[in-house]
Amino acid sequence: MEIDKGRLAEATQIPSENQDERPQEEISLIVIHGISLPEGQFGGPHIRELFCNTLDCSRYPGFASLEDVRVSSHLVIDRAGYIEQFVSFLDRAWHAGESSYQGRRNCNDFSIGIELEGSDNVPYTRAQYIKLADVCQLLRETYGVSEVVGHKDVAPGRKTDPGDSFDWDHFRSLI
């Protein structure tokens, strides 16, 4: 696995418009997210469509709240461990929203967002943990990233992902 000009060579590249330049170049945080669309259903194109602004929000009742939402993440790791990259690591993805970590606001400015296809209450797969650990180790080596946290850690009270189903001890034993 390698990174070239902010791109993970192993990942399928799917550019998202939902990004912009980082206001600073320091990348010091990885934020782990969990996502499924519709909630609790895996597979299908809906995460990709959300990040590329092509999601048909009339398709499922639960999508109505996503109308006009503009979000992205740097990476998505699906249940089989397959990786898609939507935003270069050198750019700012719109993944954390209103957030802060250790007194620093706007975590998108200094973090990399990694989405795991999953749900707060469904265990993540072995393939996801392995790929996530490999990617995090590579990001540490390439950018000197020092911290890995969950979305709930940077947006407490607003977000709960990656949820109680994410095994932090197991993940940390892999990196």
Tokens of 142: 């390439």
Torsion of CA 62, 68, 74, 76, to 10 degrees: 20
Q: Is residue 67 among the annotated active site residues?
A: no
State the CB neighbour count (10 A cutoff) for residue 108.
23
Catalytic residue among 115, 117, 141, 147: 115
CA distance to 43, 114, 163, per residue, from 134 (Å): 22, 12, 21
Nearest CA among 147, 158, 73 for reference residue 115: 73
Tokens of 99: 């957030």
- Which residues are marked as active site? 115
